[in-house]
Amino acid sequence: MINESNSTVPCEKYIGANFHVTVVDSRILEGILTVIDPFGNLLLSNVYETSIDKFDKTKLHVRELGLVSVPRETIVNIKVDSRTYSNIFGKS
């Protein structure tokens, strides 16, 4: 795995990218990055939420949400798909 932590990439390069955002309550939001506001909050479109089923902890629950605003302070982890990674860093 390549560590790109020393690379600076303008936020605009990620607009339109497929994001996988993990938030503080362990939900995963998968959608297309539409906007990053000046405070670091994200706006994702075509979002699907994956969470642990409340009644059976061994099952996952997936639902379609549509357009979602993700507050910066709730974000734990962000991943991009391999195509976006290749386009930005020129690597696979």
Cβ neighbors of 90 (< 8 A, separation 6 or more) are none
The residues spanned by each domain of the chain are 11-81
- Give the per-residue pLDDT at 1: 40
Model confidence pLDDT, tens digit, residues 72-89: 999 999 999 888 888 888
User: Could you tell me the pLDDT band of residue 6, with boundaries at 50, 70 and 90?
Assistant: low
CATH fold label, 11-81: SH3 type barrels. (2.30.30)
Distance CA 44, CA 34 (A): 5
Model confidence pLDDT, tens digit, residues 24-67: 999 999 999 999 999 999 999 999 999 998 888 899 999 999 99
